[in-house]
Structure 1
Amino acid sequence: MDIQTKPRGCTSFKVRQLMRRLSAHYDAEVSKSGLKTTQYSLLSQVKRLGPVRPVDLAGELKMTASTLSRNLQPLIAAGWIVQSAGADARSLLVALTPEGEAKWREAQHHWKTAQQKLNALLGVERVLALHQLIDESLELLGADDAADLQD
């Protein structure tokens, strides 16, 4: 077996290839609920955090407030998320509606199926190793400090 002593090819390209395949895998299953995987993830975070200020939700998701606002709009229009007044007149909270909770449960069933299929395809050991490698890489890259990557 040929042992490589240095990476060949572009790491960014390889990671993007993997992301496209993983996204297609999850999207194919989660879409059976009428949601995109990104919408399911957003519902999941709102459910986990409870009524939450959009700025805190954006921070948790590592996205800008404007991106979050765009992503929330279809979920609000569908009646799955509601915006309400926060602690003062200037703040808002977002929360799941009962319909949003039901949609999340439906999508979670499909997400679990996608995860089980992925575990079977790759093997649980490989999935665990992938999670560990991703977590360690994010920590080493300083996931919250993109400025370091520009040097």
Structure 2
Amino acid sequence: MHPNDLQDDDCFALRQASRHISNLYEHYLSEAGITPTQFSILRTAGNCPSLTMARLAKAMVMDRTTLLRALKPLLQRGLVAAPSEGQSHRRLRIVLTRSGLTKLDEAVVYWGTAQARFERSFGKQQAAHLRTELFRMTGNVSEE
């Protein structure tokens, strides 16, 4: 294998596919005024009430600095909150607000359209297999 052969470069292939799929979801989720990362944060917060920053960062496979950057617009728009009562900085909790739940309900429709389009073009079974393998690769951290 030659070091410049992109056909054998797993990292390149994964990053290229990630950008391709992200662009598809960005196109649809922009109609709801959020990004795919923001959607994932809202959905994770909706599934895990009173989620700590550490658990959210682990589920998103993001470092805390990147996560804080992604959370900032959601906090400013009142879609998530970080209630301060009885919390230390290390155990900061993120909760989905009523506005966040409304936004998530709106965005799920656009996400569903993107998901259906991806599955039509890639194949429903292939997409399910891909998800299984990708979650296996990351140790299913989003399922904890």
Post-superposition offset of 1:69 = 1.5
The match for 1:117 is: 117
Q: Deviations over 1:63-117 (max 9, x none)?
A: 222222221111000010111135x352432111111100011111100111111
Post-superposition offset of 1:133 = 3.2
CA–CA distance in 1 between the matches of 2:7 and 2:53? Answer: 42
What SS does the aligned partner of 2:81 have?
A: strand
- TM-score (norm: length of structure 1): 0.78
The match for 1:77 is: 76
Q: How does 1:15-54 map to 2 (within 5 A)?
A: 15-54=14-53
Instruction: Sort the Cα spacing of 1:111 and 1:66 in 2 relative to 1 into closer, same or farther, 3 A.
Output: same
CA–CA distance in 1 between the matches of 2:138 and 2:39? Answer: 23
Q: Deviations over 1:9-34 (max 9, x none)?
A: 32221122211111111111111100
What SS does the aligned partner of 2:83 have?
A: strand
Q: Which amino acid aligns with 1:120?
A: R
What SS does the aligned partner of 2:50 have?
A: coil
- Count of matched residue pairs: 133
Post-superposition offset of 1:62 = 2.3
Post-superposition offset of 1:137 = 4.1
CA–CA distance in 2 between the matches of 1:66 and 1:121? Answer: 35
Q: Which amino acid aligns with 2:68?
A: S
Identity among equivalent pairs (%) = 26
Q: How does 1:84-95 map to 2 (within 5 A)?
A: 84-85=83-84, 88-90=86-88, 91-95=91-95
Q: 2:111 aligned with 1:104, yes or no?
A: no
Superposition misfits of 4+ residues, deviation over 3 angstroms: 135-139
Alignment RMSD (CA, Å) = 2.1
The match for 1:63 is: 62
Structure 2: which 5+ residue stretches go unaligned? 1-5
